[in-house]
Amino acid sequence: MLIPCPWCGDREDIEFKYGGAAQVAYPTDPQSADDAHWARYVFFRPNPKGTMAERWVHTAGCRRWFNVVRDTVTHTIRPA
């Protein structure tokens, strides 16, 4: 699987670490968030069969974090 690093270009996935779903928002009002709210933030993530917005870091290259949109069935990737 080739992953498009915005700085280094297409590189093999062995050079990257996976960061999971992108755009996971921290609770806007953490003081008033209840257990259910925290459970959602800590443990629940999107797991779509299809396109998924996700984060990668180019650990063996420029170490840059970036977002892509990848299809979890075909593994085709486009920049976010």
Partner 1 sequence: MREPHSHPDHLWRNPEPRRAYEVVIVGAGGHGLATAYYLAKNHGITDVAVLERGWLAGGNMARNTTVIRSNYLWDESAAIYEHSLKLWEHLADELDYDIQFSQRGVLSLVHSLGDRREGLRRVNANRLNEIDAEWLTPAEVKAFCPIVNVSPDVRYPVIGGTLQRRGGIAKHDYVAWAFAHKADEMGVDLIQNCEVTGFDLDGGRVRGVHTNRGLIAASKVALCAAGHSTVLADMIGLDLPIQSHPLQALVSELLEPVLNCVVMSNAVHVYVSQAHKGELVMGAGIDPYNSYAQRGSPHVIEYQLAAACELFPIFSRAHVLRTWAGIVDVSPDASPILGLTPVENLFINCGWGTGGFKATPGAGWVYAHTIAHGKPHPLSAPFTLERFTTGALIDEHGAAAVAH
* Distance of alpha carbon 37 from alpha carbon 33, whole angstroms: 6
Q: Is 39 in the site for partner 1 (CB under 8 A)?
A: yes
Report the residue from 10, 25, 49, 79 that binds partner 1 according to the rule CB under 8 A: 49
- CB count within 10 Å of CB 7 equals 10
Does 65 bind partner 1 (CB under 8 A)? Our answer is no
H/E stretch holding 42 reads helix 35-43
Q: Which is nearer to partner 1, 64 or 72 (CB)?
A: 72
User: Which member of 48, 59, 63, 78 binds partner 1 (CB under 8 A)?
Assistant: 48
